[in-house]
Amino acid sequence: MESPHLRLVPCLLFAAAILFFTGCSDRKGQSATVSTENASESSLLSDVLANAELPQNISLKIQESIAADSAFIQALHSILQEDPYLWILIDKEHSFPENYEPDDLVKLANGSYRVSRDGLFLRSAAVASLEEMAAAARSEKLTLTVSSTYRPYSYQVNVYKRKVRESGQQAADRVSARPGHSQHQLGLTIDFGSITNAFARTAEGRWIAANASRFGWSLSYPQGYEEITGYSWESWHYRYTGKELAKFIDTYFEGIQQYALRFLHEWKLSQIEKDL
């Protein structure tokens, strides 16, 4: 079970997860294959499923997948060896340190996609994937418009204050992340098109919904999941997770990013606590 002090200080957990990851580089050469007969890992899985509070059908699917073969465990271990910022959980309970800023931001320019304004930045891996996805869309005579990307902590302070001023705090909290809690601070997140749910009805919106995951992008706040994600539907908000994690989300978590990231968070936390 998770230590109360880690629940209360999400920034410390964020730092601990990154430090744990960077301290495990000696494991990268090991095989990802993990025996499902390992009693310790089976016990860990049981605790993680309980702490992640997944729906029963998803928990059962994961358990059945593990019983059938090692594909789930192999994918899990492979994902956790990737850049931790691809899978780090950032939501209403888990935040960034105020001074976090990616060190490989790239300025976007019009190309296969269109930028709605100057001064939009993404991390380099996300830029490469965006170009790949936009080129595929353009081959079908569609042009993706990028409207918002990386936001530093200070920018989100102003966004959140404006939402509170316009709508009141309760309404603002449904549609805007508090500073430090925005996925945009990752430098891996894009708001596409009009930044309204009218986007879902456009040809571009329908194309992205059908194709984003094969390029490594995942819808963060799907319709009907506000109780799970903490935010109302945002058909335009996609996070770059990498192709392997995007497939993992679709295969085992019914395409719901929050479920998968919550599971990964609890798994990593259990490992950290076990090794303390």
80: Cβ contacts below 8 Å, ≥ 6 apart: 21, 87, 264, 267, 268
Q: What is the mean pLDDT of the chain?
A: 88
pLDDT band at 18 (very low <50, low <70, confident <90, very high): low
pLDDT of amino acid 42: 66
Q: Do the Cβ atoms of 243 and 215 come closer than 8 Å?
A: yes
Q: pTM surpassing 0.85?
A: yes
In order, the DSSP letters of 71-96 are HHHHHHHHHHTS-GGGT---SSS---
Distance CA 200, CA 237 (A): 11
pLDDT digits (tens, 9 = 90+) for 145-160: 999 999 999 999 999 9
Q: Do the Cβ atoms of 5 and 89 come closer than 8 Å?
A: no
Comparing 5 with 105, which gets the higher pLDDT? 105
pLDDT band at 41 (very low <50, low <70, confident <90, very high): low
Decide if pLDDT at 7 tops 80: no
Nearest 5°: the CA angle 243, 214, 150 is: 65
Q: What percent of the chain has pLDDT over 90?
A: 77
Q: Which domains does the chain have, with CATH numbers?
A: 4-87+262-275 (no CATH), 105-240 (3.30.1380.10)
Distance CA 90, CA 208 (A): 23
Question: Which residues does residue 105 pair with via DSSP β-bridges, in sequence order?
Answer: 123
pLDDT digits (tens, 9 = 90+) for 234-246: 999 999 999 999 9
pLDDT of amino acid 45: 87
End-to-end CA distance of the chain: 14
Decide if pLDDT at 16 tops 60: no
pLDDT of amino acid 40: 59
